[in-house]
Amino acid sequence: MFEAAANRAITAQPTPPSWTGLDINYSELDRLGKITDVQTLISEIENLKDERGEPFLDIAISQTSPEDRQALNLSITTHAIGSQTSPSTLNAQQAQAILKPLQAQLKRPPLTLKFLESSAAAFKRVSARGQMIPPQTDPYKTGMKSSRRTILLKDFADRETILHEYIHALYDRERERLGLAKPFPDLEQKMHRAQAQLERMSADDSRAPEAYVSYWQARTEFLLATSGEELEVHGTIVDRRQKFGLSDSSPAVANALQNYESEMTRIRDGLAEASKAIEGMSGSEALQNQIQDGLIKLAASEQWHLDRARSLQKSTAVSMR
């Protein structure tokens, strides 16, 4: 089933498919994308208001030392979006300037500020430059929950990272507006509940096969929701590169394409694993359909990625003549 569905999907259109089904208004993103200074960009995002006049999101900065970055195998080298130069390195003065948003949030309620500080400290040990946290969640077990959407950033995060996490915040807001389940925490919790239910059952329990299929269905749903959104976000960076002042040869564009490819590999491997796990099992029709739909979208994503990589390579070659 896995290979047949993949072969049928080759006819997919060379445009990025909508993995989330969300229709996002990017007008504010396009405005923010024109801001080339990282500090100004962070300040602008911090000042955004929601429909009730409340701050749209919070931003917390993780201050890292050279030892922290070495432990995470990270470099402080950052790709300067909007710059035609090679990747630049933030000096101590620039890194200190990026820390200003956390200081500016002293007007936040004490519990909110404590959550931001605790989460930023925990995020320092994570090998990512940025992360968007939905409201009322506590991914780092601080004992508190986010009061609103929160973006965690390393102190050397570049514009690509900030815009990337802001796009995730737009997706979270749209899901909330439509009353849809969110990857975090809704689908993640659903997957964990299905796993716990399966683990409580003995092998000879008559309900075990159904619980087994339910677990793989929840796991696949979570995979497609999380990696699918990542594909859309990376694709948005690439397709709106001109609005963000990015040249076709920008390291930020190349980075987005590379990350896009990594997420496709994650989906491909996950679907293959799920297909093998439920092979020949009765009651797995819904999951089989889910896998097939995922393969069709994956083929369309692969075609989009191939087309963009070729066109960008051509454009770069022409500009170098």
Please spell the DSSP secondary structure of 237-284, one letter per residue: HHHTTTTTT--TT-HHHHHHHHHHHHHHHHHHHHHHHHHHHTTT-TT-
pLDDT of residue 105: 59
pLDDT at residue 43 tops 50: yes
pLDDT at residue 300 tops 60: yes
Give the CA distances from residue 58 to residues 46, 53, 113, 116, 168, in Å, rounded to whole numbers and listed in that order. 6, 14, 10, 8, 13
Q: Answer whether 316's CB lies under 8 Å from 249's CB.
A: yes
Q: Answer whether 189's CB lies under 8 Å from 95's CB.
A: no
pLDDT digit string, tens, across residues 132-148: 999 999 999 999 999 99
CA-only gyration radius of the chain, Å: 21
Q: Which two tokens stand for residue 31?
A: 């405005």
Which of 82-86, 109-113, 178-182, 305-309 bottoms out in mean pLDDT, i.e. has the lowest?
A: 82-86
pLDDT of residue 8: 46
* CA 29, 32, 38, 43 torsion-angle sign: negative
Which of 62-71, 84-93, 121-130 bottoms out in mean pLDDT, i.e. has the lowest?
A: 84-93
Report how many domains make up the chain: 1
pLDDT of residue 89: 39
Which of 28-42, 57-71, 198-212 bottoms out in mean pLDDT, i.e. has the lowest?
A: 57-71
pLDDT digit string, tens, across residues 10-30: 333 345 779 999 999 999 999
Question: Crossing angle for the helix pair 251-277 and 159-178, nearest 10 degrees?
Answer: 50
Give the CA distances from residue 121 to residues 125, 141, 262, in Å, rounded to whole numbers and listed in that order. 8, 12, 28
Domain assignment of residue 49, given as a range: 2-319
pLDDT-derived band at 149, boundaries 50, 70, 90: very high
Average pLDDT score over residue span 243-262: 95
Q: What is the pTM of this model?
A: 0.87
> Helix, strand, or coil here: 163?
helix
Name which residue leads in pLDDT, 319 or 196.
196
Average pLDDT score over residue span 97-110: 59
